[in-house]
């Protein structure tokens, strides 16, 4: 059978199925196959071949006395189910293979083989591997600043391994937050050691998450626009400089590895007064309603300076520089994720009724002629 119609049936196959399906009360006995072949003007051998071919597809069934057409839609669903099952097995096999490839890539870069070869090439020939640029320790910071300023869509980075007191993490955060204010999507994974070294987690941006980063991973990793990667030349030692990589297959492996760890990462715990969280959520709702700071303060019943401090904290949390940018950054959030509705003024407080003063007997002034009683 060719693949002309549904189930790969030919025009003759479609005509045969229609003939048998249209005669449910007068099924075709096996003995009438020659007669049917003559009526359809086909060879009897071709007819039998088509009958048994459609039987293998479960479209036709011989019940011992006659041929019967089955529900073709049920047959199609069953066939699709079999294909989906095969695809699921293939997808699982591909996913397992990709996981193995990612582990092999991580093990390769932690082994130092690439850096040893590349450094040797640089010393002997003065050339670098295509798509990989070696940077000495002094050039790493300038490269980070340059590529962060040039980023247009996303920036991912992680901090793993022991804390290096010479690592300029706070300066790095400031540079990265500037990219966030331009609309670059930020994501960061830090090990518990680096989060503990940062001290007060309430001062860290919300896009930093706590992750368990394996020891064989590079201690520093930055990915710009899912296109360029900066990683240490030696996975366990950042003092030897770094490698700037723009080889797509390597970059994609690092991106997949980052996302794999991102799935199991946890947001930073921020012990904070619930009333502060609620007030800031309500402030976001007020900004979404285009209310002025004074109006928000009045409807929340707080001082305007409190609202402005909250807006400043929210700008830092969302990586933006102004209340206007904050409104744009949070515009996609559903309103029910904010605090109470501030679009209407707060109802006036009910004042307790004042009780009338107690009645005091009227005292008459003594007349001039009256004498005091003794």
For a pLDDT cut of 90, what percent of the chain falls above it?
7
Query: How much of the chain, in percent, has pLDDT values that exceed 70?
Result: 72
Q: How sure is the predictor about 155, in pLDDT bands with cuts at 50, 70 and 90?
A: very high
Examine the pLDDT at 123 and tell me if it is beyond 50: no
6-70 has which fold?
Answer: Arc Repressor Mutant, subunit A (1.10.10)
Give Cβ neighbours of residue 208 (< 8 Å, ≥ 6 apart).
188, 189, 190, 195, 268
CATH number of 274-337, picked from 3.30.910.20, 3.40.50.2300, 1.10.10.10, 3.40.50.720:
1.10.10.10
Rounded Cα distance, 183 and 334, in Å: 20
Q: Tell me: the pLDDT tens digits for 288-314?
A: 888 888 888 888 888 888 898 888 888
The answer, yes or no, to whether residue 337 has pLDDT greater than 50, is no
| Residue 338, pLDDT score | 47
- What is the CATH class of 118-267? alpha beta
Question: What's the whole-number average pLDDT of the chain?
Answer: 77
Whether 118-267 and 274-337 share one fold: the answer is: no
Distance from C-alpha of 114 to C-alpha of 131, rounded to nearest angstrom: 13
Q: Does 29 have pLDDT greater than 70?
A: no
Least confident of 95-99, 123-127, 184-188, 215-219: 123-127
Minimal CA–CA distance to 106: which of 264, 260, 267?
Answer: 260
- Contact predicate 176/157, CB 8 Å: yes
Counting Cβ atoms within 10 Å, is residue 126 exposed (0-12), middle (13-18) or buried (19+)? exposed
3-state percent breakdown (helix, strand, coil) of the chain, nearest 5: 50, 15, 35
pLDDT over 70 at 37, yes or no: yes
What does the domain layout of the chain look like in residue ranges?
A: 6-70, 118-267, 274-337
How many CB atoms neighbour CB 360 within 10 A? 6
Q: Indicate the range of 48-62, 184-198, 226-240, 342-356 predicted with least confidence.
A: 342-356
With a cut of 90, say whether residue 224 has pLDDT above it.
yes
pLDDT of residue 33: 80
User: Which pLDDT does position 1 carry in this prediction?
Assistant: 42
pLDDT at residue 214 tops 70? no
Q: Which residues pair with 158 in a beta bridge?
A: 189, 221
């Amino acid at each position: 059978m060719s693949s002309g119609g549904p189930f790969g049936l030919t025009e003759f196959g479609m005509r045969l199925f229609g003939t048998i399906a249209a005669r449910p009360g007068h099924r075709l006995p096996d003995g009438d196959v020659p007669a049917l072949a003559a009526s359809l003007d086909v060879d009897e051998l071709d007819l039998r071949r088509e009958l048994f071919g459609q039987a293998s597809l479960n479209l036709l069934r011989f019940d011992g006395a006659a041929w019967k057409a089955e529900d073709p839609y049920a047959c199609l669903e069953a066939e699709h189910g079999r294909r989906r099952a095969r695809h699921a097995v293939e997808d699982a096999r591909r996913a397992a293979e990709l996981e193995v490839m990612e582990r092999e890539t991580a093990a390769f870069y932690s082994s130092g083989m690439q850096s040893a070869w590349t450094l040797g090439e640089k010393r002997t020939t003065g050339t670098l591997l295509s798509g990989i640029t070696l940077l000495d320790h002094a050039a790493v910071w300038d490269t980070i600043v340059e590529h962060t300023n040039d980023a247009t869509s996303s920036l991912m980075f992680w901090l793993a391994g022991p804390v290096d007191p010479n690592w300029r993490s706070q300066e790095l955060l400031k540079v990265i937050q500037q990219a966030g204010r331009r609309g670059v999507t930020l994501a960061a994974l830090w090990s518990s050691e680096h989060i503990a070294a940062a001290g007060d987690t309430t001062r860290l941006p919300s896009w930093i998450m706590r992750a368990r980063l394996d020891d064989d991973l590079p201690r520093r990793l930055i990915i710009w626009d899912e296109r360029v990667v900066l990683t240490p030349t030696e996975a366990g030692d950042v003092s030897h400089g770094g490698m700037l990589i723009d080889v797509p297959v390597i970059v994609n492996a690092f991106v997949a590895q980052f996302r794999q760890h991102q799935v199991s990462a946890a947001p930073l715990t921020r012990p904070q007064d619930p009333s502060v969280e609620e007030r800031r959520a309500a402030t976001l709702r007020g900004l979404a309603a285009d209310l002025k700071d004074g109006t928000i303060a009045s409807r929340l019943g707080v001082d305007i300076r409190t609202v402005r401090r909250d807006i400043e904290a929210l700008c830092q949390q969302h990586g933006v520089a102004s209340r206007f940018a904050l409104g744009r950054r949070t515009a996609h959030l559903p309103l029910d994720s904010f605090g109470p509705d501030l679009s209407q003024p707060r109802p006036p407080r009910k004042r307790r009724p004042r009780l009338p003063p107690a009645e005091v007997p009227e005292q008459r002034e003594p007349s001039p002629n009256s004498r005091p009683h003794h």
